[in-house]
């Protein structure tokens, strides 16, 4: 009788853990989707604002001589492909050429932990800039203490310098 009770308790605990795991994964997926959507929206707004400022500067006959303070501090570089604000509304996020924040060889750290970043403390170097996926630029990075490379979204990185 005691053995049956113990077995029932173990089964109940196992079911509860499985239910909690499913709920945690659902919450994580929802949070990730919300962050991705916010990132795409903010980038689209920034690109529209920059294009609007560029048009205004062109109309007034002045060229925008220096990048804005926010772009200087983020270490952004200009992309070779121009994107018009009109095309942003109709374009998919994967079609938009978003400038990369980090340059090749730059030292970064993984600031936002998530799947695939267990034990990912330390400095990394940007090895390659990859095209955007899901509205977020991707990078191939190599850790100082690791023998392999990782692919990480730009929103999960911050400059180590």
- Residue 151, domain extent: 2-159
Please say whether the beta carbons of 159 and 139 come within 8 A: no
pLDDT in tens, 130-148: 988 888 899 999 988 888 8
DSSP state of 154: G
- Average pLDDT over the chain reads 78
pLDDT in tens, 64-106: 444 554 444 444 444 444 454 444 444 454 455 678 889 999 9
pLDDT in tens, 97-136: 678 889 999 999 888 776 666 667 788 999 999 988 888 8
For residue 124 the two structure tokens come to: 């990394």
Whole-prediction pTM value? 0.41
């Amino acid at each position: 009788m005691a053995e049956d009770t113990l077995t029932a308790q173990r089964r109940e605990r196992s079911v509860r853990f499985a239910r909690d795991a499913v709920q945690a994964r659902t919450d994580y997926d929802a949070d990730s989707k919300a962050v991705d959507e916010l990132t795409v929206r903010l980038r689209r707004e920034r690109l529209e604002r920059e294009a609007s400022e560029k048009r205004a500067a062109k109309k007034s006959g002045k060229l925008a001589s220096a990048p804005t303070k926010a772009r200087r501090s983020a270490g952004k570089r200009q992309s070779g492909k121009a994107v018009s604000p009109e095309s942003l509304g109709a374009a998919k996020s994967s079609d938009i050429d978003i400038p990369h924040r980090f340059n090749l060889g730059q030292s970064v750290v993984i600031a936002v932990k998530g799947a695939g970043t267990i034990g990912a403390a330390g400095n990394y170097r940007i090895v390659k800039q990859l095209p955007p996926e899901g509205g977020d630029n991707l990078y191939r990075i190599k850790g100082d203490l690791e023998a392999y490379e990782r692919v990480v979204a730009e929103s999960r990185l911050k400059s180590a310098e």
